[in-house]
Each structure stands twice: as structure tokens, then as C-alpha cells.
């Protein structure tokens, strides 16, 4: 069975509250995970941000001159993310977008994004090959994608298939950062 059919299950919106629980930082600290790759002034693409566990830290890291484009398939996730960002004083750094027609809708970013984060979401996408092509098109030359999938949901063989799809989209495999409970790779 292909990866495209085996994992196409969407995280329910209510689970988003569990995923933003502050206790999660003990195992997956967004600042430690993202700090080595994201700088002030960058443009960042984050498909599947949920309620923003990583998004708010991305907004802090890009600073007032940067921008985070967060794209999700669930309006409830984006609404909660927007409220959380406003409360943190970061809403003006975010461009929140709802997926339409199965694509990310980021054609306006073509060649402009410095960094992309796909964290624990590729296994939920019905067409990961398309997702990788769209992320690749949004990235600048030399741009980086941090791909991370939950090791409890995505087994080694399936992760290897995911990496093959990323390579087919034009990415080259870089190092594999150690992120708790995850299989992770930097793709250039």
C-alpha cells in the first residue's frame, strides 16, 4: 500500500489543544529545535501548523521584519492560532491561510521562503508528492525544509518512502537532527 493511502488521516481539531500543551516543551522545545535554522527577517512556510506549537516560536525568531506563512486545512486550528498569536503580540508576523483545492495556495511565495517546517503532518496529507513540490517551489535557492514525523505513527520504512518523495521533488537529504519522539531530516 502506498504512503499516500495508508496515512491519509487528519488530526481532529480538538487534539490541537493537547498538542499545544506547555508540558510538550520538555521533550520538544520549539526554540531549541528551530533556533539553529531561523533568523530575524526570514520568510518561513509552515504547512500544518495546527494551533501553533511551533508557529509562535517561528514568529519570535523571524522578528518584526520577518513573516511566517502558516497553512492549514482546518479553520478551527487557524482561528485558535490567530487568537494565541494576538495574545502573544505576534499576530502581525503571521499570514494564516486555509488550504483550498488540496494545494497550499502559496504560489505568491515562489522562490521567497528561506525555511519551511513540516512537523508531524506529512503522514496526514493525501498527496505528499504534491506537498513537497509546492514547498520546494516556495523555497529560495539554498532554502531548507525541516521534515519531522512522529516515530510512533510513521515507521522507518514509511519515513524512507516519504524521503524518496521529497527527493523526487528535488530536495537533497542533509543531516538528521535529533528530535524526541520523531524521525527528522533537513532537506535542501
pLDDT at 96 over 50: yes
Among candidate residues 44, 38, 79, 43, the one with its CA nearest the CA of residue 61: 38
Contact 106, 45 (CB under 8 A): yes
Please report which confidence band the pLDDT of residue 7 belongs to, taking 50, 70 and 90 as the band edges.
very low
Please report which confidence band the pLDDT of residue 6 belongs to, taking 50, 70 and 90 as the band edges.
very low
Please report which confidence band the pLDDT of residue 27 belongs to, taking 50, 70 and 90 as the band edges.
confident
Cα separation of 51 and 149, whole Å? 17
Cα separation of 71 and 30, whole Å? 18
- pTM score, whole prediction: 0.90
* Residue 173, beta-bridge partner list: 187
List pLDDT tens digits, range 126-184.
Answer: 999 999 999 999 999 999 999 999 999 899 999 999 999 999 999 999 999 999 999 99
pLDDT of residue 3: 34
Radius of gyration in angstroms for the set of CA atoms belonging to the chain, rounded to a whole number: 15
SS3 per-residue string spanning the chain: CCHHHHCCCCCCHHHHHHHCCHHHHHCCCHHHHHCCCCCCCCEEEEECCCCCCCHHHHHHHHCCCCEEEEEECCHHHHHHHHHHHHHCCCHHHEEEEECECCECCCHHHCCCEEEEEEECCHHHCCCHHHHHHHHHHHEEEEEEEEEEEECCCCCHHHHHHHHHHHHHCCCCECCCCCCCCEEEEEEC
**Upper half-sphere CA count for residue 114 (Cβ side, 13 Å):** 15
pLDDT at 23 over 90: no
pLDDT at 109 over 60: yes
pLDDT of residue 62: 98
Amino acid at each position: 500500500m502506498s504512503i499516500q493511502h495508508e496515512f491519509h488521516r487528519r488530526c481532529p481539531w480538538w487534539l490541537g489543544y493537547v498538542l499545544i500543551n506547555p508540558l510538550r516543551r520538555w521533550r520538544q522545545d520549539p526554540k531549541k529545535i528551530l533556533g539553529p535554522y531561523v533568523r530575524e527577517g526570514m520568510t518561513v512556510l509552515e504547512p500544518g501548523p495546527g494551533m501553533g506549537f511551533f508557529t509562535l516560536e517561528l514568529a519570535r525568531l523571524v522578528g518584526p521584519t520577518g513573516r511566517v506563512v502558516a497553512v492549514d486545512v482546518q479553520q478551527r486550528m487557524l482561528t485558535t492560532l490567530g487568537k494565541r498569536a494576538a495574545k502573544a503580540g505576534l499576530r502581525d508576523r503571521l499570514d494564516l491561510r486555509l488550504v483550498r483545492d488540496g494545494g497550499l495556495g502559496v504560489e505568491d511565495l515562489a522562490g521567497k521562503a528561506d525555511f519551511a517546517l513540516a512537523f508531524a503532518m506529512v503522514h496526514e496529507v493525501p498527496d505528499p508528492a504534491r506537498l513537497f513540490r509546492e514547498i520546494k517551489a516556495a523555497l529560495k535557492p539554498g532554502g531548507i525544509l525541516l521534515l519531522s514525523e512522529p516515530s510512533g505513527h510513521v515507521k522507518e520504512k514509511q519515513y524512507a518512502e516519504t524521503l524518496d518523495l521529497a527527493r523526487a521533488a528535488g530536495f537533497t537529504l542533509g543531516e538528521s537532527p535529533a528530535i524526541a519522539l520523531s524521525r527528522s531530516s533537513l532537506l535542501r
